[in-house]
Every structure is written in structure tokens, then in C-alpha cells.
Amino acid sequence: MSGPLRRAVRGLRWYVRELTDESAYERYVAHLRKGHPDAVVPSRRAFERMRTDRQESDPRQGFRCC
């Protein structure tokens, strides 16, 4: 693959991952490592559970309009 094409594919992949929040786990781990180096990093499974539990407890999070 040529340079610009590869960049475009990489950009698209980044955008989709960010938009769907697939990158949420990596972002959270990076956040923990940076701010709280001693904290225990949860597994991806545990992290995703925590995320949906949060949505459960406040349904206004991620609410969509008509």
C-alpha cells in the first residue's frame, strides 16, 4: 500500500474506533498509568462491565434524541 492510502485507512480505523468508543479501554488504561501509577488496571472485561453498569445507573448518559 502506498503512503497516502495507508494513512487514509489508518485514519478511518482510528475514527471508527473512537466514534464507537472501542478505544475506551486503552484510553482508560493510559489515563490510569499517567495519573495513578499505583492503581490496579482492570481487565478489559471488567472495564466494559463497569461502563455498562454506569450507563445503567444513569440512563441519561448516552441518551439519544428523537
Min separation Cβ 14 and other proteins, Å: 6
Please name the residues in contact with 39: beta carbons below 8 A apart, sequence gap of 6 or more: 32
Between 6 and 27, whose beta carbon lies closer to other proteins? 27
Site residues for other proteins, 7-46, by CB under 8 A, read 14-22, 24-25, 27-28, 30-32, 35, 44-45
Which positions lie near other proteins, rule CB under 8 A?
Answer: 14-22, 24-25, 27-28, 30-32, 35, 44-45, 47-49, 51-52, 54-66
